[in-house]
Structure formats: structure tokens, C-alpha cells
Amino acid sequence: MYPNIGKSSRIDTLFNSNDNAFVVAFDHGILMGPIEGIQDIESSVSKVAKGGPDAIQVTPPIAKVVSENFLGRNSPSLIARIDSSNLWRSSPEPKSGYYTDLFSVKDAVRLNAQAVVTYLLVGFENDHDEAYNLKTLSKIAHEAHDYGMPLIIEPLGIAKGYQAVRDKDIISLAVRMATEVGADLLKVDYTGEKDSFRDILDSTTCPVMIRGGPKTKTLRDSFQMVSDSLDVGAKGIVFGRNIWQSEDPTKITQVYSEFVHKKIGLEDALKQLE
């Protein structure tokens, strides 16, 4: 248990009875604009919320727009994205790339969020940018502690061209840095193999959820990645495009929820989505 009762209570709300969490992320707009699947953010969030995820991840201003989806005993919890970067924007391309905090933990408290989420980006061309990112996260971690707010850090290795790096050594470095700077939970890229991902999990004291990244080529690829990560100790998933870029976001949300909470197996999940 966490010594901070506020954090303990919020984390307990996020995680289901089997200690896994299924989160759907809708914070891509501030990074990439109105991409396919989230042009109409109110409709997109509503469809997913009906499928019963444990939480939905949005920026505080969008949380206000879609607030009705967080009301009620059985509604999803809110996770607030409080920072941003332009590293993944395709047009106009970033000149050097930035990271910045945008909102405060207090903003998230006002919205009754169950957690805040931030990036830790490792591999900037300019070391000062990485130092600024770390210093910002340290301040956020202290503020989150004061408010009893869980801090989810999304540690990512980046390379020239600003693509996420899935090299296990770089992921391991970023994960340990995020742990040391004060994360309560982590949102991490799956390495592609069980043994190397188990090593990642062993390198942190924080529960780890895997991030979805770009939409996978097939549903089987996506469910297999989730299955493999859960097998070695991941505590859930944070998916976006694999959910709201699907033909039926409500249905696929329902199936992923059952799968993450181990109510159905891989073949059964795929059969339900045929």
C-alpha cells in the first residue's frame, strides 16, 4: 500500500479487482491534431465510455467538454494529461522539438481526476531539453504528493526523426529514470518479447501498464501483445488508436476490458470481434 492515503484510494479506484487496469487515451489531439477517430471528440469518448473502460485519459479542457462520461458510480475514472510535446507532429514538422508542462495537479484535482500523466522523453538532441523535462517532472511529483494524486509517467526513448525507440536498453534507462524522479505508475512500450520485458519490469518499483502506440496491423497482433505483457507481470494497458480507430469502438472496448481482466482468452476475444 502507498503511505499517502489519497494516492492509495485513487490507485485502488483505477485498478480492477484483479489488479489490472484498462485505460483508453484520447489526448492525441494536443500532439497531432484532429486525427482519424477523434475528429468529433465528444462522440468518440461517448462510444468508448459505453464499453466500460476503467479510465479515460484526456487533457483538462477536454475533460470539461466530455464531463458527463465521468458521472455515475460505474462510469470510467478520469486521468488528466498535463503536459505536451510536438515531437510526433507530422506537419508542420518540429524544428528542434519541445516538451512543456501545460496544466497543474490542482487543475486535475478540480476535475476529480484519479491520476495525472506526463512524459519523460530520453534522447533529445539538446541535453538541456532533457534536463528541463526531468526538473519539471520532479516538481510535478512533489505537487502530486501534496495533493494525494497518483503520477503516471510515460517514459519514452526518442531518436532522430522523433520516433519512439523500442530498444530494451533505452526503455530500461527511461523506466528507471521515471521511477527515480517520482512516478507512482508507468506507461511503457512493450519490447516485443517476454524475457526482455520481464527485465524492464524488474528494473522498477512501480506497477507498469503498456502503451498501445500506433495501430497494430491485425487484431491478433494487438491482443497477443497484451497477453504476453500480462503474462510477465504488466498491470494493464493504455490504448488509444487501437480502440477509437476501430469499426466499433464500443464493442472493442468491451472485449478488451474482458480480456485485460482475464474473463476471456485470446481466441475468444478475437471470435467476439469477427
CB 236 within 8 A of CB 260: yes
| Catalytic residue of the set 7, 47, 168, 187 | 187
Cβ-defined contacts of 156-163 (< 8 Å, 24+)? 156/119, 156/120, 156/121, 156/122, 156/189, 157/122, 157/123, 158/87, 158/121, 158/122, 158/123, 158/124, 159/123, 160/125, 162/87, 162/88, 162/94, 162/97
Distance of CA 88 to the CA centre of its chain: 16
In angstroms, the CA 259 to CA 255 distance is: 6
In angstroms, the CA 35 to CA 178 distance is: 29
Average pLDDT over residues 21-28: 98
The DSSP symbol for 93 reads P
Q: Is 251 a catalytic residue?
A: no
The DSSP symbol for 68 reads G
Q: 176 by DSSP, 3-state: which? A: helix
Which pLDDT score, from 0 to 100, does residue 162 have? Answer: 56
Give the predicted TM-score (pTM) of the model. 0.95
pLDDT tens for residues 57-70? 999 999 999 999 99
165 confidence band (pLDDT: 50, 70, 90):
confident
Average pLDDT over residues 43-49: 98
Amino acid at 122: V
Which pLDDT score, from 0 to 100, does residue 35 have? Answer: 92
3 confidence band (pLDDT: 50, 70, 90):
confident
Domain ranges (residues) in the chain: 5-272
pLDDT tens for residues 74-117? 999 999 999 999 988 888 888 878 999 999 999 999 999 999 99
Q: Is the pLDDT of residue 255 over 80?
A: yes
The residue whose grid cell reads 477523434 is 38
CB 113 within 8 A of CB 79: yes
pLDDT tens for residues 169-188? 999 999 999 999 999 999 99
127 confidence band (pLDDT: 50, 70, 90):
very high
> What are the start-end ranges of the E strands in the chain?
21-25, 55-58, 77-81, 83-85, 99-101, 115-122, 151-158, 164-165, 185-188, 208-211, 236-239
Among 29, 89, 18, which Cα is nearest to 59's? 29
pLDDT tens for residues 192-247? 999 999 999 999 999 999 999 777 889 999 999 999 999 999 999 999 999 999 99
Q: Is the pLDDT of residue 161 over 60?
A: no
Among 174, 37, 160, which Cα is nearest to 93's? 160
Q: Is the pLDDT of residue 2 over 60?
A: no
In angstroms, the CA 266 to CA 244 distance is: 20
30 confidence band (pLDDT: 50, 70, 90):
very high
What percentage of the chain exceeds 90 in pLDDT? 84
Q: What is the mean pLDDT of the chain?
A: 94
CATH tag, 5-272:
3.20.20.70
Q: Specify the pairing of strand 115-122 against strand 77-81.
A: parallel
